[in-house]
A and B are shown apart, each in its own frame.
Chain A
Amino acid sequence: MRFAEVPPAPSTGARLPARSSLLTRALGLSAVVGLGITTWWGLWVSPPDVVQGQYVRMLYVHPAVATMCYAAFGLCALGSIAWLWPRLRSPRWDRLAVAGAEVGSVFCLATLVTGSIWGRATWGVWWTWDARLTLTAVLFALSLGYLALRRAIDNPSSRSYVSSMVAVLMVLTVVVDHYATTWWVTLHQNTSLFKPGPSVHGWQLATMGMSFVAFGLVLAWLMVHRYRLEALEERYEREGLSAALEARRSEGPAATGRPGRGGPQPAVGVPAPVPVAGQARDQEVVAR
């Protein structure tokens, strides 16, 4: 069910918790502070690189964004696998999965954009079909497919089941994407950080680490809010429908004071409905 089709929100009864908690506000503030420190260190404190010069500053954005993309899809897969597991099945896992997929697709797009900018500056091209880039594009397409599936299937159980399968496929793509630079020859460089003896040092390493913390906080903040939004949407649908049912009941016989389960009475000035031919015949048969 889409928002457009949902009846108006219930005006009486429960108030939807539309505002964030103190904890999430603190999380958001920490993310902003983290991004501020990363910007400060990245643009003014950290020195340029011997080979890449000033272009090295993309190092403080792109790897962190790409890692958060992987992490979000990992959370999506975690939620999906937990939902598929009969003992653990709960709407909470499904909410985690959809939050992970949506936030992951945002980070995936950011990865493609920042990588493209960095690639143009250093490699000399916006895009090339090497294994890492191709798999990241496939991952983004899969995430869009996941989100499209969530909107296309109305039945909640079928929707969760099918999208969980896609989520598992996405996380497998993440693993292959991560090892692409190791398994195949690529234009994209290998990892700098997640290996024994990182090849980044000093302020460059500190700033890169700070960028991971900052974008990690952004990821957490987005996840919390997307999860809450999904829960609110479910509640809105549920309570909106209940309110509509209540409103409809109040328009029924109880409201008009007539006993029994008779149909709604025509309004004053509106002609009574004409029975169709079949009904008239049935009434005759019953009368006989």
Chain B
Amino acid sequence: MSVATGAEPDLAPVSPVTTGPEGGAAALLGGPRRRRALATRRQKLVAGVIVLSALGLLVFRGLTSAMDYYLTAAQAVAQKAQLGTRDFRIQGTVMRDVHQVGATLDFTITSHGVRVPVVSTGSPSSLFKPGIPVVLDGHWQGDHFSSYQIMVQHGSNYVEAHPRTAAAGAPAR
């Protein structure tokens, strides 16, 4: 809305930072510019709430699960009574007794001399093999660990498989 006064300043509506005909008296009366400003402020508020909520979720997930990402097989056996049948992650090195029975994979993991038999329905990556450390999602079921996800853990040491040639490059099994 514009109020004709007949005495507008020379340089009134040249840029958004100056108060133009819509932003002067109209703003005081709750005109469209004021409504737009309120809408913009509301959008900013909603955007801020979304960003903060996302951040809060990430931090919450981080604090609750990331700091104690897994228990070693030895720790899991020691805490078996407290863990009950709730889900947690267990870590250990795969032993040689890997058997595929239909869609399930039976094997044993070891850590600090403690062995844990595993029955898994998860499909591991192609790096899965005896001797490689794995992290398993699942829970205790009787005397074995029932897993639904296998994650292969690899170290930070890298060794060239075939020095000076990249020809035969299938992942080592």
Contact B5 A279 (CB under 8 A): yes
Q: Quick check: which of A66-74, A95-103, A109-117, A201-209 contacts chain B, the rest being far away?
A: A201-209
Chain A residues with Cβ below 8 Å from B65 are: 129
Q: Does B6 contact A (CB under 8 A)?
A: yes
Q: Which residue of B lies closest to A134 (CB)?
A: B62
Complex alpha-carbon distance, A138 and B3, angstroms? 50
With A124-B124, A141-B58, A253-B10 already in contact, the answer to whether A53 and B51 are too (CB < 8 A) is no
With A50-B160, A129-B65 already in contact, the answer to whether A124 and B14 are too (CB < 8 A) is no
Q: Quick check: which of A29-37, A83-91, A188-196, A217-225 contacts chain B, the rest being far away?
A: A188-196
- Chain A, residues 110-134, CB within 8 Å of chain B (1/0): the string is 0000000000111111001111011
Contact B156 A184 (CB under 8 A): no
Complex alpha-carbon distance, A135 and B55, angstroms? 10
Q: B151 contacts which of A49, A187, A274 (Cβ < 8 Å)?
A: A187
Chain A residues with Cβ below 8 Å from B149 are: 124-125
Q: A131 contacts which of B48, B62, B170 (Cβ < 8 Å)?
A: B62
- Chain B, residues 129-162, CB within 8 Å of chain A (1/0): the string is 0001001000000000000011111111111111
Q: Does B44 contact A (CB under 8 A)?
A: yes
Contact A53 B172 (CB under 8 A): yes
Chain A residues with Cβ below 8 Å from B54 are: 141
Q: B14 contacts which of A47, A192, A200, A244 (Cβ < 8 Å)?
A: A244
Contact B62 A44 (CB under 8 A): no
CB within 8 Å of A: which B1-21 residues: 3-11, 14-17
Complex alpha-carbon distance, A205 and B110, angstroms? 32
B interface majority secondary structure:
loop
Measured between C-beta atoms, what is the minimum distance from B154 to chain A in Å?
6
Number of residues of chain A lying within 8 A (CB) of chain B: 71
Measured between C-beta atoms, what is the minimum distance from A104 to chain B in Å?
17
Complex alpha-carbon distance, A123 and B132, angstroms? 11
Q: Which residue of A lies closest to B65 (CB)?
A: A129
With A131-B62, A190-B156 already in contact, the answer to whether A263 and B171 are too (CB < 8 A) is no
Contact A261 B10 (CB under 8 A): yes
Chain B residues with Cβ below 8 Å from A52 are: 127, 154, 158, 171
Q: Does A257 contact B (CB under 8 A)?
A: no
Q: Does A59 contact B (CB under 8 A)?
A: yes
Q: A56 contacts which of B16, B132, B158 (Cβ < 8 Å)?
A: B158
With A138-B62, A245-B14, A273-B6 already in contact, the answer to whether A51 and B156 are too (CB < 8 A) is no
Contact B10 A51 (CB under 8 A): no
Q: Does B82 contact A (CB under 8 A)?
A: no
Q: Does B164 contact A (CB under 8 A)?
A: yes
Complex alpha-carbon distance, A92 and B124, angstroms? 51
Q: Does A287 contact B (CB under 8 A)?
A: no
Complex alpha-carbon distance, A241 and B14, angstroms? 8
Chain B residues with Cβ below 8 Å from A137 are: 58
Please give the residue numbers on chain B whose beta carbons come within 8 Å of chain A beta carbons, in ascending order.
3-11, 14-17, 44, 47-48, 51, 54-55, 58-59, 61-62, 65-70, 91, 122-128, 132, 135, 149-166, 168-172
Please give the residue numbers on chain A whose beta carbons come within 8 Å of chain B beta carbons, in ascending order.
1, 5-7, 43-56, 59, 120-125, 128-131, 133-135, 137-138, 141-142, 144-145, 148, 152, 184-187, 189-192, 199-204, 241, 244-245, 247-249, 252-253, 261, 263-264, 272-276, 279
29 contacts between A and B (CB under 8 A): A43-B166, A47-B163, A48-B170, A51-B158, A52-B127, A53-B169, A53-B172, A54-B170, A56-B158, A121-B126, A122-B127, A122-B154, A124-B122, A124-B151, A129-B61, A134-B66, A138-B55, A138-B62, A184-B69, A185-B91, A187-B69, A189-B155, A190-B156, A203-B163, A203-B164, A241-B17, A248-B11, A249-B11, A264-B10
